[in-house]
Amino acid sequence: MAAIKVVISGATGKMGLETVAAVSRESDLELVGGSCRQDRGPTLTTPYSTVVPLTTDLDSLLEQTRPAVLVDFTNAAVAMDAAAKAAARSINIVMGASGFSEDNLKQLDAMANDNGVGIIVAPNFALGAIVLKKLAEQAAPYFDYVDIIESHHEAKIDSPSGFALALARSLGEIKQFTRNQPEKENLANTRGGEHNGISVHSIRMPGKSAHHEVIFGAAGQTVSLRHDTLGRDCYMPGVVRCIRDVVTLQGLVIGLENVLGL
């Protein structure tokens, strides 16, 4: 069986470089190119000394290399444009970009079905994070109060994280939670963002990687569920699994849990 050809959008970013290495390790995957925002020269050398094209012009790269899969680790605006270019060429897409709105997801769903391709949007590729989400969904019916606290490095471009938003949306579909309103707020927004009564708090500072905690509250007790990312290598099994699976799909799949069947 021929290897699955892969192009990575955002190939020189932190997640992009990790994905370059991961794809290069797999015998059934073939990295054929990468794109980046700033000009960094015409080629990218992988940790295994393979050299592939690198460009700021994703459109021409897709035309030149004709991959089976585009993996995107940029941001929502760039990713939506990249997805349109890929889908129009019948290229399947794995999206790890952050910050997609509900409208973005509807557009991606239409894009996938109109062009007969598979699109996977995964707010988090770590198996432990998916377990956290499933446990939180199981606990949600038994509590009326819930806060989500997420921490990332200081250079993360958005807040809250895409995974925190996915958590809030998922829990908010289960029930309407209670969010108390203090009689006096001495500093604006100290209760955090809100979705269906769920408070969401974002921390941004050096030394953080990716950390998500869901805290449920009831009279006289709390339950805390937490996942900590200690290294980006934890995402790679999920990314590789999505690349392999997306070529067999048609339509939009949201969340690694729906790829794994959890």
Domains in the chain (CATH in brackets) are: 4-121+232-260 (3.40.50.720), 127-229 (3.30.360.10)
pLDDT, position 99: 78
Contact between residue 7 and residue 85 where contact means Cβ atoms under 8 Å apart: no
pLDDT, position 100: 87
Residue 213's H or E segment, with its range, is strand 210-218
> Which strands sit side by side in the sheet containing 51-55, from one edge to the other?
43-45, 51-55, 29-35, 4-9, 69-72, 92-95, 118-121, 251-254
| pTM, full prediction | 0.85
pLDDT, position 158: 86
Using 50 as the pLDDT threshold, list the residues of the chain that sit under it: none
Q: List active site positions.
A: 152, 156
pLDDT, position 97: 80
pLDDT, position 23: 97
Looking at residue 123, its amino acid is P
Cα torsion 109, 177, 211, 128: sign: negative
pLDDT, position 98: 76
